[in-house]
Amino acid sequence: MNKNSSNMMALAPNTSNKRETVCIFGTGDFGRALGHKMIQCGYPVVYGSRSTQISNLIPKDAEVLSHTEAAQKAAIIIIAIQRQHYNFLTQLEEILHGKVVVDISNNLKLNQYPESNAEYLAQLLPGARVVKAFNTVSAWALQSGALDASRQVFVCGDDMEAKQMVMNIVRALGLTPLDKGSLLAAQEIENYPLQLFPMWKFPVFLSLGLTAFFFFYCLALDVIYPYIYEKNDFSFFIALTIPNRVCPVMALTLLGLVYLPGVLAAIIQLYRGTKYRRFPDWLDKWMLCRKQLGLIALAFASLHAVFTLVSPIRSFVKWRTSKTIISQALNNKTEPLDTTNAWLSDSYLALGILGFFFFVLVGITSLPSVSNSVNWREFRFVQSKLGYVTLILSTAHTLVYGGKWFLSPSAYKWYLPNIYMLSLVVPCVVLVVKFVLIFPCVDKPLTKIRQGWERNPKYSE
């Protein structure tokens, strides 16, 4: 019964042209922008302000009254005032009793106060039906209409009917309400606009650290070593050659790191014989940022593709080609075509192109607009199966490229392995473990565990 009535309420604003008056406390940036949008959508707006003087900035058609007078005119009061000024609201407690009071405030720091602003407001006005909403929408977006990226409005509150009334307004403004539950969720909603790419921090810092390490590794082996031992100045390698070595190494290492937590999780589940024990925190966090790691890996792979495509127009490459031709002309001898080398070079390029193609496909399916249009099984197929195909192709691309130098002592300057050998470590570990995991004697118990079976059940019947 209740459910039906709330559904009917949700439809109500669309079926009637008459909108209820909304009161906004505060004629600041947000109050004005929200009022303007509401008037555009047919809501009569009345402002409650410390000064009842009408300024040019206040939307036309809006009334400006004292707080008491304005609150008396509406059932919904939106508090567009900073939290530190909420104290004066206690004087209006009687007028606000039973009314829907909407807290839209944000803080300057994460968890700035012990309780959320909305809970604080509810403490100040125990008789009011406090709802948290609109804090994730900016005044600028409301004013300019640039709401594409922030169409979602998180709403929470303890009073279902009050929450529905606010959600109806949100819908009427062309935004999408997202019910986050009771007022307890307000703290999380208030922290949301303060977060700066939270899921990207670890992948970005890890990538920066690894890029710096690989860059200096290449610098030592490809520029400093030849300078010291052969008196060759290859410092210009810093511009293109070294980046084109670091990018594929980063792409392959990060791609391996996308799939490594999955195989670690499988080993942990097999060892514990249950899926009902939490993974260590670090593994949980790692698994949550796999998409970001994958997208950064794709960016490195794309850079590698561009660097490789421009390679033939580099003066160093042109010089090296003409040097070979001239030396053949001077010796009056044409080198015969080495078909083994031709095979290796074509295979390595083909594997790289195919690997990049699948990598782009996997990357595209991780975009919300695409992933929303496929079902869970299709999504898993692309992310897991095609992801592994990408990893296999990219690893094979690197192996074919450098495999022939594995045993050559010249590949170990200062006894250090070449950088492409380092890039093979993580992907090879992942592929070998994955290979073991798909053996039926390992896969069967793992599948059973993932379906809920336990080796030593804690609660047996």
| Site residues for ligand NAP per CB under 6 A | 26-31, 49-51, 80-82, 85, 88, 104-106, 135, 138-139
Q: Which amino acid is at 402?
A: G
**Minimum distance from CB of 135 to ligand NAP (Å)?**
5
The residue type at 436? V
Q: Residues with Cβ < 8 Å from 25, sequence gap 6 or more?
A: 31, 47, 48, 49, 67, 70, 71, 77, 78, 79, 80, 81
Contact predicate 237/245, CB 8 Å = no
- CB atoms < 10 A from the CB of 227, how many? 13
| 128 three-class SS | coil
> How near is the Cβ of 150 to ligand NAP at its closest, in Å?
10
Minimum Å gap between C-beta 247 and ligand NAP is: 39
If the CB atoms of residues 28 and 44 are measured against ligand NAP, the closer one turns out to be: 28
**Which two tokens mark 397?**
């691309």
Nearer to ligand NAP, 64 or 421 (CB): 64
Q: Which is nearer to ligand NAP, 65 or 386 (CB)?
A: 65
Distances (CA, A) of 197 to 20, 186, 293: 38, 20, 13
How far, in Å, CA of 368 to CA of 380, rounded? 14
Report, in Å, the least distance between residue 120 CB and ligand NAP: 12
Toward ligand NAP, which CB reaches closer, 52 or 274?
52
345: tokens are 């070079």
**C-beta closer to ligand NAP: residue 141 or 257:** 141
Q: Which is nearer to ligand NAP, 6 or 150 (CB)?
A: 150
Tokens encoding 238: 């810093």
Query: Rounded to the nearest whole angstrom, what is the least distance from the CB of residue 122 to ligand NAP in the complex?
Result: 15
CA quadruple 205, 209, 214, 216: dihedral sign: positive
Which residue number is nearest to ligand NAP in terms of Cβ?
28
CA distance 226 to 237: 12
CB of 75 to ligand NAP, least distance (A): 21
| 101 phi/psi in degrees, rounded to 5 | -110, 120
Q: List phi, psi (to 5°) of 456.
A: -125, 80
Q: How far is the CB of 73 from ligand NAP (least distance, A)?
A: 16
With 0-12 / 13-18 / 19 or more C-beta atoms within 10 angstroms meaning exposed / middle / buried, residue 51 is exposed
Tokens of 58: 């206040």
Which is closer to ligand NAP, CB of 29 or CB of 454? 29
Give least dist CB 113 to ligand NAP, A.
Answer: 13
Nearer to ligand NAP, 81 or 221 (CB): 81
Query: What residues are paired with 156 via a beta bridge?
Result: 132
